[in-house]
């Protein structure tokens, strides 16, 4: 298992605290790839009973709602490649406006550089295909990192869980969030517990 290879030299660390555990369940149940409405409701009630407030729970939901950007991660690169191939195979340098957007939103930020490493060419593809979507991507993804109702490591753990469910095994996101969680101090035990919660996610049976 890929996770075990990465975790083999990582300290065990503590188990998940109860609040992070229930937020992970909320993330897994509410993700678009699961949509367990009843389960989400049960875990929201449990989270409130544990003392989590509405802002914290909503922040977790906002984080997980970002699963939709995986469509952009994969398909925007495919679109860009197809357009490039049909146009002769040579990409023009970014124009002044595009370069300004790149510098403003990506620059030398190591967080985005790690994403570029896991998803090579994504940012360039999205910027070329739709500067408006490029800007909107950063604006939306930034929301839960500006409100800061939850610890950064908690947000990485619930993102890891959402990318690891049986109905959404997304390796680039898995690796990105696993590495980020480890950098933020998560131990092997908490990582395994998050992955166990993800593995037990129900199938998506539809809503309504």
pLDDT digits (tens, 9 = 90+) for 187-197: 999 999 999 99
Q: Mean per-residue pLDDT for 129-141?
A: 97
Helices (H) and strands (E) in the chain, counts: 13, 0
* Tokens matching residue 206: 């539809």
* Tokens matching residue 123: 């940012």
DSSP single-letter state for residue 72 = I
Model confidence pLDDT, tens digit, residues 116-126: 999 999 999 99
SS3 content of the chain, % helix, strand, coil (to 5): 70, 0, 30
Model confidence pLDDT, tens digit, residues 44-93: 999 999 999 999 999 999 999 999 999 999 999 999 999 999 998 788 99
**CA-wise closest residue to 63 among 97, 7, 95, 20:** 20
Mean pLDDT of all residues belonging to the chain: 96
205 pLDDT above the threshold of 90: no
- In the chain, the domains with their CATH numbers are 2-7+14-68+143-199 (1.20.1290.10), 69-140 (no CATH)
* Confidence at residue 147, expressed as pLDDT on a 0 to 100 scale: 87
* Confidence at residue 32, expressed as pLDDT on a 0 to 100 scale: 95
CB-CB neighbours of 93 under 10 Å: 7
42 pLDDT above the threshold of 90: yes
* Confidence at residue 34, expressed as pLDDT on a 0 to 100 scale: 96
DSSP single-letter state for residue 73 = I
* Confidence at residue 89, expressed as pLDDT on a 0 to 100 scale: 79
1 pLDDT above the threshold of 90: no
141 pLDDT above the threshold of 90: yes
CB-CB neighbours of 141 under 10 Å: 15
């Amino acid at each position: 298992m890929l996770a075990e290879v990465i975790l083999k030299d990582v300290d065990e660390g503590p188990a998940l605290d109860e609040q992070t555990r229930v937020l992970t369940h909320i993330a897994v149940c509410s993700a678009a790839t699961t949509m367990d409405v009843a389960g989400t409701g049960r875990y929201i009630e449990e989270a409130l009973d544990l003392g989590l407030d509405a802002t914290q729970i909503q922040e977790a939901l906002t984080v997980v709602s970002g699963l939709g950007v995986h469509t952009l991660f994969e398909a925007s690169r495919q679109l860009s490649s197809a357009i490039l191939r049909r146009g002769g195979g040579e990409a023009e340098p970014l124009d002044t406006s595009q370069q300004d957007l790149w510098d403003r939103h990506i620059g030398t930020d190591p967080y985005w550089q790690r994403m570029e490493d896991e998803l090579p060419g994504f940012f360039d593809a999205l910027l070329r295909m739709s500067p408006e979507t490029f800007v909107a991507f950063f604006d939306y993804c930034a929301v839960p990192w500006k409100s800061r109702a939850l610890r950064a490591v908690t947000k990485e753990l619930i993102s890891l869980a959402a990318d690891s469910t049986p109905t959404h095994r997304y390796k680039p996101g898995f690796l990105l969030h696993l590495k980020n969680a480890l950098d933020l101090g998560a131990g092997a035990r908490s990582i395994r517990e998050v992955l166990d919660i993800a593995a037990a996610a129900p199938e998506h049976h539809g809503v309504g």
